[in-house]
Amino acid sequence: MKGIRLDSVQEFDVLSSTQVIIKEALQKLGYPEAMYELLKEPVRFLTVRIPVRMDDGSVRVFTGYRAQHNDAVGPTKGGVRFHPDVTEDEVKALSIWMTLKAGIVDLPYGGAKGGIVVNPTELSFRELERLSRGYVRAISQIVGPTKDIPAPDIATNSQIMAWMLDEYSRIREHDSPGFITGKPIVLGGSHVRETATARGVTIMIREAAKKLGIPLAGARVVVQGFGNAGSYLAKFMHDAGAKVVGISDVYGGLYDPEGLDIDALLEKRDSFGTVTRLFKNTITNRELLQLPCDILVPAAVENQITAENAPNIQAKIIVEAANGPTTREATRILTERGVFIVPDVLASAGGVTVSYFEWVQNNQGYYWSEEEVLAKLEQVLVRAFSNVVAMAESRGVDMRLAAYMVGVRKTAEASRYRGWV
Ligand code: GLU
């Protein structure tokens, strides 16, 4: 058996730690080793070099990736992130997580992910446009509305989706709104897509709090990260009557045991979602995670909650809005301590769910109201939450393994029916 040894896995290696859980999930579901061999890596992985003419006339060449994990269920789907720390393994792991998300909310997709190694804050608006268009030219052969559908992720937004759509439509010489999701509404975007991840996390928090008998009104919430997911989430929690006592961005965190004025912070933040630099008394991201609170929402990057800080976390509920914020060892420690974890692949599935709604609307050429989208999102996510809880309870496994089991099953079944395994 060509297995991977559980004890040989590095805590911080996102790809191999994901592979370990995929393997465990497939074993528990009764699939043969060959299924793991198929699903442990993306079926397709493209590395591209993107030359960009900078404003000063010089040329910089950026590295980009696109990973397509598995297309047995249907076209692959997943965002594109712009971040200086993007690596091949990270993009591969993220594409596997997209398969799991799509499976958990029962979408007709497999997972994909893209990334460009870049610090977008160093680029001008026009340089960013040229980079976005260059990326689409570089990956155009393997993407498309019935092949692989990109979307926003860290540091990419509806403007970037609009440039990417425009570039793709020029290459194909026809209007193809279903090529990408997270578009501006006027270009075929969907109501609620912009806030979808945060809306989904809000639903998960509500369901988890209900399950644990913690009233949301007055509950103390800490949110790490003030980007698309974190900032809207802080707002929704604040509006729901919870007390958002801590928030943070890449530069640091803010803490007020009486609750922060979220509306004022949203007003002041810049286009990259940073706000804490305007304050003198900040705390570190590390301190933020260990604040006294009821609900902790990591909404930033990977590997924030580790074996080192897991014993000091005071929250009763952790809802993972970010992808991969908690390591396997930390999950074990927290689960043993009785902390209820809503894992990333479930908690952050609201984004791809509304992306799916956007794609369906594009394919139909018929557009839904905000109320319709919200009602559909609610229905899908409440069902997903209860499916994962039911799996965890019936099989006696932690919430992350349960989510992987629910998430991987559809792709594994589709691969089996197609005769691949
Ligand atoms: N980037 C988001 C995620 O990680 C959304 C992907 C999508 O909408 O396709 O779930």
Q: How far is the CA of 351 from the centre of ligand 1 (A)?
A: 5
Question: Which CB contacts under 8 angstroms, 24+ apart, belong to 208-214?
Answer: 208/295, 208/317, 208/319, 208/340, 208/342, 208/385, 209/294, 209/295, 209/317, 211/340, 211/389, 212/316, 212/317, 212/340, 214/294, 214/295, 214/316, 214/317
Does ligand 1 come within 6 angstroms of the Cβ of 39? no
**Can you read off the two tokens belonging to residue 251?**
């530069």
Q: Is 217 exposed, middle or buried (0-12, 13-18, 19+ CB in 10 A)?
A: exposed
Distance CA 288, CA 372 (A): 37
Residue 151 tokens, joined: 């979307």
CA quadruple 219, 248, 161, 361: dihedral, nearest 10: 0
Q: How many CB atoms lie within 10 A of CB 212?
A: 13
Note the helical H segments in 326-398.
Answer: 328-336, 344-347, 350-364, 370-395
Instruction: Give the type of residue at 360.
Output: V
Check if 227 has its Cβ closer than 6 Å to any atom of ligand 1.
no
Using a 6 Å cutoff on CB, does residue 355 contact ligand 1? Answer: yes
Evaluate: CB of 351 within 6 angstroms of ligand 1.
yes
CA of 323 relative to ligand 1 center, distance in Å = 10
Helices (H), 105-195: 125-139, 158-172
CA distance 81 to 392: 31
Task: Assign 3-state DSSP to the chain and report helix, strand, coil percentages, each to 5.
Answer: 50, 15, 35
The preferred substitution site among 355, 377, 381 for testing ligand 1, maximizing ligand atoms within 8 Å of CB, is 355
Which residues neighbour 274 within 8 Å (Cβ) at sequence distance 6 or greater?
226, 249, 250, 251
Does 294 contact ligand 1 (Cβ within 6 A)? Answer: no
Residue 81's φ and ψ, nearest 5 degrees, are: -110, 145
**Ligand 1 centroid, distance to 162 Cα (angstroms):** 16
| Domain definitions of the chain by residue range | 39-175, 195-338
Contact partners, residue 264, CB within 8 Å, separation at least 6: none
Whether domain 195-338 has CATH 3.40.50.720: yes
- Name the nearest CA neighbour of 29 among 417, 410, 421: 410
Which atom of ligand 1 is least distant from the CA of 78?
A: 9
What separation in Å is there between the alpha carbon of 152 and the centre of ligand 1?
6
**Residue with CA at minimum distance from ligand 1 atom 9:** 78
Question: Was domain 39-175 assigned CATH 3.40.50.10860?
Answer: yes
From the CA of 354, give the closest atom in ligand 1.
8
Per-residue confidence (pLDDT) for residue 270, from 0 to 100:
85
What length does the chain have?
Answer: 421
Cβ of residue 190 lying under 6 Å from some atom of ligand 1: no
Same fold, 39-175 and 195-338: yes
Ligand 1 nearest atom to the CA of residue 94, by list position: 4
Ligand 1 in reach of 200 Cβ (< 6 A):
no
Q: How far is the CA of 181 from the centre of ligand 1 (A)?
A: 9
DSSP letter, residue 108: S
Q: Do residues 35 and 2 touch, judged by C-beta distance below 8 A? A: no
Q: To test the ligand 1 pocket, which listed residue (352, 356, 358, 380) has its Cβ within 8 A of the most ligand atoms?
A: 352
For 141-184, the pLDDT digits (tens) are: 999 999 999 999 999 999 999 999 999 999 999 999 999 999 99
Strands 59-68 and 110-117: antiparallel
Q: Along the 421 residues of the chain, how does pLDDT read in single tens digits?
A: 333 333 445 567 899 999 999 999 999 999 999 999 999 999 999 999 999 999 999 999 999 999 999 999 999 999 999 999 999 999 999 999 999 999 999 999 999 999 999 999 999 999 999 999 999 999 999 999 999 999 999 999 999 999 999 999 999 999 999 999 999 999 999 999 999 999 999 999 999 999 999 999 999 999 999 999 999 999 999 999 999 999 999 999 999 999 999 999 999 998 777 999 999 989 999 999 999 999 999 999 999 999 999 999 999 999 999 999 999 999 999 999 999 999 999 999 999 999 999 999 999 999 999 999 999 999 999 999 999 999 999 999 999 999 999 999 999 999 999 999 9
| 176 half-sphere exposure, CB direction, 13 A CA radius | 23
Distance between start and end Cα atoms, the chain: 16
Tell me the CA–centroid distance for residue 243 and ligand 1, in Å. 28
- In this structure, the residue with its CA closest to atom 7 of ligand 1 is 352
In contact, 109 and 356? CB cutoff 8 Å: yes
Which ligand 1 atom is at minimum distance from the Cα of 153?
Answer: 1
Q: What's the predicted TM-score (pTM) here? A: 0.95
The set of residues, in sequence order, having a beta carbon less than 8 Å from that of 78 and lying 6+ positions away, is 94, 95, 98, 111, 112, 113, 114, 150, 151, 153, 352
CA–CA separation, 319 vs 144, rounded Å?
A: 32
Query: What SS3 state is found at 143?
Result: coil
Give catalytic residues, as residue numbers. 113
Is any atom of ligand 1 closer than 6 Å to the C-beta of 248? no
CA of 201 to the centre of ligand 1 (A): 13
CA of 228 to the centre of ligand 1 (A): 12
Q: Which of 197, 204, 360, 380 to mutate to test the pocket of ligand 1 (most atoms within 8 A of CB)?
A: 197
How many CA atoms does the CB half-sphere of 220 hold within 13 Å? 17
Report the atom number in ligand 1 closest to the C-alpha of 352: 8
